[in-house]
Amino acid sequence: MAVETKTTCPYCGTGCGVIARREADGRVSVKGDPDHPANFGRLCSKGSALGETVDLDDRLLHPEIGGRRASWDDALDLVADRFRTAIAEHGPDAVAFYVSGQCLTEDYYVANKLMKGFIGSANIDTNSRLCMSSSVAGHRRAFGADTVPGTYEDLELADLVVLTGSNLAWCHPVLFQRLAAAKAARPEMKVVVIDPRRTMTAEIADLHLSIRADGDVALFLGLLRHLAAHDALDRTYIAAHTRGFHAALAEALALDDAELQALTGLTASETDAFFRLFADTEKVVTCYSQGVNQSSAGTDKVNAILNCHLATGRIGRPGMGPFSLTGQPNAMGGREVGGLANMLAAHMALENPEDRDRVQRFWKAPVIADHAGLKAVDLFRAAADGKIKALWIMATNPVVSLPEADLVRQALRTCPFTVVSDMSGSTDTAREADVLLPALGWGEKDGTVTNSERRISRQRAFLPAPGEAQADWWQIAEVARRLGYGEAFPYQSPAEIFAEHAALSAFENEGARDFDIGAWSRRGGDDYQAMTPFQWPQRQDGSTQARFFADGRFYHADGKARFVAVSPSVVERRTADFPLILNSGRIRDHWHTMTRTGKSARLSSHIAEPFCEIHPRDAAALGIEDAALVAVESPLGRVILRALVTPRQAEGALFAPMHWNDGFAAEARIGALIPGLTDPHSGQPASKNVAVRARPFKASAYGFAVLREKPVGLDCAYWALGKAEHGWRLEFALDEAPEDWTGWCRDRLGLDPACEPIGYLDATSGDVRLAFFAGERLLAAVYLAREPVAVARSFALAQLGLAHGDMKTRLAVIAGRPDAGRADPGATVCACLSVGVNQITAAIRAGADSVEAIGACLNAGTNCGSCRSEIKGILHACHAAAAE
């Protein structure tokens, strides 16, 4: 019998409710939960494809020590033993945990408690350092606490939504859909997008400002100056509830027009248009994400934004406020438990002796960390220097995602003892571990997550635990027990941990701390099981609060907010040798290092290769052609990517996705190029503004292959592998074309030597086409040329799913295009309903003249809607082409 379970999507911080349905035969399908207040039933392409990612391919199913299967007891004994010895010999700061915003709150709470209260070090940091820490630091400077004042509804109620450093359409697609729907219903609502690139998000913008990298502080200082000059300040609010306004304004007044334009790269008419909109609209929400946080001035950017909202008193009221968009499903939960190396727990401060005493008493802890631990970049540098003797990494893949990624790999090799808890044993990080611990993943584990609007939701298990995998909290509690702290880690279930976490949030609080979920401290397992999504605070007396700060009450000791006097300098990173800026980020259908989305053929079909966006003028100057390969180098390393020449990219800058890694491509770990430069306040790395150079990467042969089996140990100058519906797709390039192509295919692509291909080799043109069959089944088709191969990818991929009984269809495989009468759908645009670009252009030619009309005839864009901006782009392109 099929069973339906209400749970929460494990991807972005939107935190959508999901109904997972498990059929009697084990198949899993998902749909949006209509009752969840984050998404009201909507899901994006990634959420809709969750059912395709829960298989056990590539799963780590048993503990391993030194690459060999081990029992849990042996593995946990060893972990406890090595941590105990390292602490005894070198002190508590010689060990560290590196955890993740993808841990559930319960996992996170237990890890933080063990490190800060029992081991007695604050050397627990998290990948949220790379993600949210500038927002945390900015909030704490301004508000005295890490508070997100508003709710998602504010984006719908606002008359102006400013999105800066956020590609909402691809990174928070359901929230974007809510915004787009609100704007469609109230066309007078305005959207401003501030991003060096013209992203898909900019498609709904009334104004797109292609800002110079890191120009945000200057832009928001310019805004503050404009607000002051045009009498748009709320002087009553400033006087009653804030401090430091004059110093902040002085910085703004010191900035003249010429500097403003130089620092932002924007014209006076562009900045004025934005300033006027902001000044004239009361209901403004300013959303920001990694284009703001991931910067050497990230914290200052955050405060420059907060300053403008405080100065206008537009905070915490319906449709008004600054809004930090969180990335990971539990970025917020991690902040609540204090998982960063400079935080304590339950929004209490590590630097505050009273808070330390309070937490220590609550935990009945033998010690309490009394100084901040190492932040992520410094943590791995310390490991590379041999100062960290035992390191436990959980739910994150730093060999891909941290800056100085090659140094990080080296650090893991230098560190005498590294433990990795993951669902996969083959990530770039897991491959460096001494001990691998198999973790339960989404659908198998139970706990809570908090989304960007402070809403706590349950993730619920609906699948059996695979192999011997165990929850992260269990792993930590077992090690704590072995270290002699069993009494403080007696947990049998996540419900018990959540109740303790809730009790700590209310402990001696009396309204002094924003984070308070005391109502949950006395509830038992049944209530936890039945929990419906709720926003914090939810205090013991039952009181709650949808928004913060409209009343002007902040969390600094004097109850007032602080303006921060930020200065606008933009550091020019480019040099004569490295004359381009590399910006990096996300694509619509992949999640981080692809350990989960890489399993879905649908999600892998939207963008199938690591790419590099480059402006047409830069491309022309460098001799880089569209779809050719390009080598991008920084002083630290090199990657090879597919060039995507587009005017959406700003001149002088490149953009590359952060997702590809050694499991999916030859050389595409962007982190390997990024220096470990961090924001001085938050320690967050500056991943979006890196000096690089680019040049064409010439190979002597280029290939495309469709393969039934995944090839292992690929060894070519360039390759990129992607999951396809009936196998795998492979793009590759070789420095030297082999004499014997058939032999090369057999050896390198792992094909049966007995299998004779059909096809042709043209020595003059260099074209080679080979198809290997086993009976009627196509095992592999390989297309090669001296230039990037022109073959219809979607057609070739579809051949893996067809029977090839007769010569005609076999020859069509070799030709790489359909025989007359059958159309090639083209590259996937709508991943949910598998609609390709050729189908969309055909519909446009047949008269479909709007996104809605295309949806009506092809269904494209009618499920999650994340591709609607792209469909709009295709419409524009077709109309522009028709007009020429």
Ligand X SMILES: Nc1nc2c(c(=O)[nH]1)N[C@H]1C(S)=C(S)[C@@H](COP(=O)(O)OP(=O)(O)OC[C@H]3O[C@@H](n4cnc5c(=O)[nH]c(N)nc54)[C@H](O)[C@@H]3O)O[C@H]1N2
Burial class (CB in 10 A: 0-12, 13-18, 19+), 102: buried
Is the Cβ of residue 336 or residue 667 nearer to Mo ion in the bound state?
A: 336
Least CB distance from residue 193 to ligand SF4, whole Å?
18
> Could you give the angle at which helices 868-883 and 851-858 cross, rounded to 10 degrees?
110
Question: Could you say which of 6, 7, 12, 402 contacts ligand SF4 (CB under 6 A)?
Answer: 12
Least CB distance from residue 659 to ligand X, whole Å?
7
Question: Could you say which of 19, 20, 30, 44 contacts ligand SF4 (CB under 6 A)?
Answer: 44
Q: Where are the alpha helices (DSSP H) in 757-831?
A: 793-799, 807-815
Helix (H) or strand (E) holding 421: strand 418-422
Least CB distance from residue 736 to ligand X, whole Å?
32
Least CB distance from residue 391 to ligand X, whole Å?
14
Q: Applying CB under 6 A, does 15 fall inside the site for ligand SF4?
A: yes
Q: Applying CB under 5 A, does 568 fall inside the site for Mo ion?
A: no
Least CB distance from residue 131 to Mo ion, whole Å?
3
Is the Cβ of residue 39 or residue 294 nearer to ligand SF4 in the bound state?
A: 39
291 binds, among Mo ion, ligand SF4, ligand X, none (CB under 5 to 8 A by kind): ligand X
Least CB distance from residue 336 to ligand X, whole Å?
17
Is the Cβ of residue 12 or residue 624 nearer to ligand SF4 in the bound state?
A: 12
Q: Where are the alpha helices (DSSP H) in 638-753?
A: 741-748
Q: What is the DSSP string of 480-520?
A: HIIIIIGGG---SSHHHHHHHHHHHHHTT-TTSSS---GGG
Q: Applying CB under 6 A, does 43 fall inside the site for ligand SF4?
A: yes
Least CB distance from residue 471 to ligand X, whole Å?
8
For residue 625, what are its two tokens? 């052609």
Q: Which range touches ligand SF4 (CB under 6 A), out of 13-21, 198-206, 504-512, 521-529?
A: 13-21
Q: What whole-number distance in Å separates Cα of residue 308 and Cα of residue 322?
A: 9
Least CB distance from residue 327 to Mo ion, whole Å?
3
Helix (H) or strand (E) holding 172: none
15 binds, among ligand X, ligand SF4, Mo ion, none (CB under 5 to 8 A by kind): ligand SF4
Least CB distance from residue 44 to ligand SF4, whole Å?
3
- Residue 132 φ/ψ region, left for φ over 0, alpha for ψ in the -120 to 50 degree band, beta for the rest: alpha
Q: What whole-number distance in Å separates Cα of residue 431 and Cα of residue 194?
A: 39
Is the Cβ of residue 92 or residue 327 nearer to Mo ion in the bound state?
A: 327
478 binds, among Mo ion, ligand SF4, ligand X, none (CB under 5 to 8 A by kind): none
Q: Applying CB under 6 A, does 452 fall inside the site for ligand SF4?
A: no
Least CB distance from residue 676 to ligand X, whole Å?
12
SS3 labels along 325-394:
CCCCCCHHHHHHHCCCCCECCCCCECCCHHHHHHHHHHHCCCCCCCCCCCCHHHHHHHHHCCCCCEEEEE
Q: Applying CB under 6 A, does 131 fall inside the site for ligand SF4?
A: no
Least CB distance from residue 12 to ligand SF4, whole Å?
3
Is the Cβ of residue 658 or residue 858 nearer to Mo ion in the bound state?
A: 658
| Residues facing 665 on adjacent strands | 720
For residue 547, what are its two tokens? 């928004």
Least CB distance from residue 43 to ligand SF4, whole Å?
4
Nearest CA-CA partner of 284 in 233, 323, 321: 321
Contact of 705 with 729, CB cutoff 8 Å: yes
Q: What whole-number distance in Å separates Cα of residue 539 and Cα of residue 549?
A: 17
Q: Applying CB under 6 A, does 36 fall inside the site for ligand SF4?
A: no
Q: Applying CB under 6 A, does 9 fall inside the site for ligand SF4?
A: yes
Q: Which range touches Mo ion (CB under 5 A), out of 321-329, 455-463, 465-473, 817-825?
A: 321-329
Binding site for ligand X (CB under 6 A): 12, 46, 100-102, 127, 130-131, 164-167, 170-171, 194-197, 199, 211, 213-214, 216, 289-291, 294, 327-328, 394-398, 400-401, 421-424, 427, 439, 441, 445, 472, 583-586, 588, 590-593, 595, 658, 670-671, 674, 687-688
Question: Could you say which of 19, 36, 37, 47 contacts ligand SF4 (CB under 6 A)?
Answer: 47
Is the Cβ of residue 197 or residue 804 nearer to ligand X in the bound state?
A: 197
Query: Per the omega criterion (within 30 degrees of 0), is the bond before 537 cis?
Result: yes
Is the Cβ of residue 435 or residue 751 nearer to ligand X in the bound state?
A: 435
Contact of 555 with 144, CB cutoff 8 Å: yes
Handedness of CA 787, 792, 798, 802 (dihedral sign): negative
Q: What whole-number distance in Å separates Cα of residue 48 and Cα of residue 496?
A: 32
Q: Applying CB under 6 A, does 14 fall inside the site for ligand SF4?
A: yes
Q: What whole-number distance in Å separates Cα of residue 213 and Cα of residue 215?
A: 6
Question: Could you say which of 6, 22, 36, 46 contacts ligand SF4 (CB under 6 A)?
Answer: 46
Looking at residue 827, the DSSP 8-state letter turns out to be S
Query: Would you tell me how many other CB atoms lie within 10 Å of the CB of residue 352?
Result: 12
Is the Cβ of residue 126 or residue 828 nearer to Mo ion in the bound state?
A: 126
Q: Applying CB under 5 A, does 131 fall inside the site for Mo ion?
A: yes
Is the Cβ of residue 45 or residue 839 nearer to ligand X in the bound state?
A: 45
Nearest CA-CA partner of 602 in 47, 81, 78: 47
Looking at residue 124, the DSSP 8-state letter turns out to be E
> x/- contact string, 137-176, with ligand SF4 (CB under 6 A)?
-----------------------------------xxx--
Is the Cβ of residue 39 or residue 593 nearer to ligand SF4 in the bound state?
A: 39
Contact of 424 with 399, CB cutoff 8 Å: no
Least CB distance from residue 289 to Mo ion, whole Å?
8
Is the Cβ of residue 653 or residue 791 nearer to ligand X in the bound state?
A: 653
Is the Cβ of residue 418 or residue 427 nearer to ligand X in the bound state?
A: 427
Contact of 563 with 242, CB cutoff 8 Å: yes
Q: Applying CB under 5 A, does 291 fall inside the site for Mo ion?
A: no
For the CA atoms of 39, 45, 46, 51, what is the dihedral angle to 10 degrees? Answer: 100
Q: Applying CB under 6 A, does 11 fall inside the site for ligand SF4?
A: yes
Least CB distance from residue 31 to ligand SF4, whole Å?
11
39 binds, among ligand SF4, ligand X, Mo ion, none (CB under 5 to 8 A by kind): ligand SF4
For residue 880, what are its two tokens? 């522009």
Least CB distance from residue 32 to ligand SF4, whole Å?
7
Contact of 184 with 178, CB cutoff 8 Å: no
Least CB distance from residue 617 to ligand X, whole Å?
18
Residues 322-341 touching Mo ion, rule: CB under 5 A, are: 327
Sequence letter at residue 601: A
Question: Could you say which of 20, 22, 33, 39 contacts ligand SF4 (CB under 6 A)?
Answer: 39
Query: Would you tell me how many other CB atoms lie within 10 Å of the CB of residue 268?
Result: 12
214 binds, among Mo ion, ligand X, ligand SF4, none (CB under 5 to 8 A by kind): ligand X
Least CB distance from residue 390 to Mo ion, whole Å?
26
Q: What whole-number distance in Å separates Cα of residue 871 and Cα of residue 139?
A: 38
Alpha carbon distances (Å) from 610 to 16, 499, 639, 664, 711: 28, 44, 10, 9, 18
Is the Cβ of residue 122 or residue 423 nearer to ligand X in the bound state?
A: 423
Q: Applying CB under 5 A, does 624 fall inside the site for Mo ion?
A: no
For 557, the 3-state DSSP assignment is: coil
Q: Applying CB under 6 A, does 596 fall inside the site for ligand SF4?
A: no
For 774, the 3-state DSSP assignment is: strand
Binding residues for Mo ion, rule: CB under 5 A, are 131, 327
> Under the rule (CB under 6 A), what is the footprint of ligand SF4?
9, 11-12, 14-16, 39, 43-44, 46-47, 172-174
